[in-house]
Amino acid sequence: MLTKKRLMAAGLATFILGVLLTFPARVPYSWISSPDFRLSGISGTVWRGQAAEGFAAGIYLRDLRWSFQPLSILHGRLAYRVESNSTFGTIRSVVGLGFSGAVTLQDFASTFSLQEFRDLFQLQGFDGTLQADFESIVLENGFPTAANGSVRLSNLLAPQLSPLAIGDYRAEFTSNADGILGSVEDSGGVLDVAGTILLGLDRSYSFVGTVAALPEAPPGLSDQLRFLGSPDARGYREFRIEGRL
C-alpha cells in the first residue's frame, strides 16, 4: 500500500511539474494585458517563449523573446531575461517583478532612433541615435522612479535649428528623493551644452541648462539661439524645457 501511495504521489508530482513546465504563455498574458501592454503571435511557455510583435508603454516591439531566471526566486522576485527588436532599435534586459508590484530592469541596454519618442516627448522633427546602458531602472505603475546608468545621443538632428547634425550628447543618471536626476553635457558637435534633467515622482520633467554656439556652428544655428535671450559674459544662454508625462 505504501509503495502504491508513493507511486501515486510521484505520478501526481510529475503531472504538476509537466503542467508548469509547459504552461502556455498566452494564458497568463490574458490576465495582465492592458492598453499599455499588448502582444500578438504568442508561442512557447510562460518560462521560455516569444511574441511576434506588441506594444509596451507606446513603444512598438518585434521578435520579443523571454526566458525565466529561476535563481531570482531566492531574491524574492520573479525575473526574466528579455530581448526584443523594434522598427527603430533593440532592447535587452533582465526584468524582475517584486512582491510589491514594482518592476526592476537590470543590465538594461537598448539602441533606438529618437523618432521612437517623438510623440511621448513632443520631439516632432528631431532624429538621432539614442543608446542607453543602465545598471538598474525601477518602474512603479509603469513610470520610472529610480535609475542608475547613462544615455548617449549621437548625430542629433533638429531641423528647426539646423539642416545639419548638431552634435553628440551624454547624460549620467542617478536617483534622489525627488526622482531621477541626470547630468547632461555635449561630447562633440557645434553646440556647447551643459544641463540637468529631473524626472519627478509626480511625472513632471524638466531640462534646464546653458548653451552656446561654437565657432564652427552654421550662422543659422547661432541666429536661432538668440530667441533664448541675451547671453552672459561668456556667451552662454539659459534654456528650460519642462512638461508632464
Q: Convert the pLDDT of each residue in 155-181 to its tens digit.
A: 887 777 777 778 889 999 999 888 999
C-alpha cell at 104: 526592476
Q: What letter would DSSP give residue 149?
A: E
C-alpha cell at 102: 514594482
In three-state secondary structure terms, 62 is strand
What gap in Å lies between CA 106 and CA 93, rounded to an integer?
6
Residue 21: per-residue pLDDT: 40
- Say what percent of the chain tops pLDDT 90: 20
Residue 37: per-residue pLDDT: 65
Residue 8: per-residue pLDDT: 41
C-alpha cell at 219: 550662422
Burial (CB count <10 Å: 0-12, 13-18, 19+), residue 224: middle
Domain total of the chain: 1
Residue 87: per-residue pLDDT: 65
Q: Convert the pLDDT of each residue in 122-167 to its tens digit.
A: 556 677 888 999 999 988 877 889 999 999 988 887 777 777 778 8
What gap in Å lies between CA 190 and CA 228, rounded to an integer?
17
Q: Residue count of the chain, please give it.
A: 245
Residue 68: per-residue pLDDT: 82
Ranges of the chain whose pLDDT falls below 70:
1-37, 56-59, 74, 86-88, 99, 116-125
Alpha helices, DSSP H only, in the chain? 2-21, 26-32, 219-225
Domain carrying residue 238: 2-244
Contact 189, 156 (CB under 8 A): yes
* CB crowding 168-183: b at 16 or more within 10 Å, else e: bbbbebebeeebbbbe
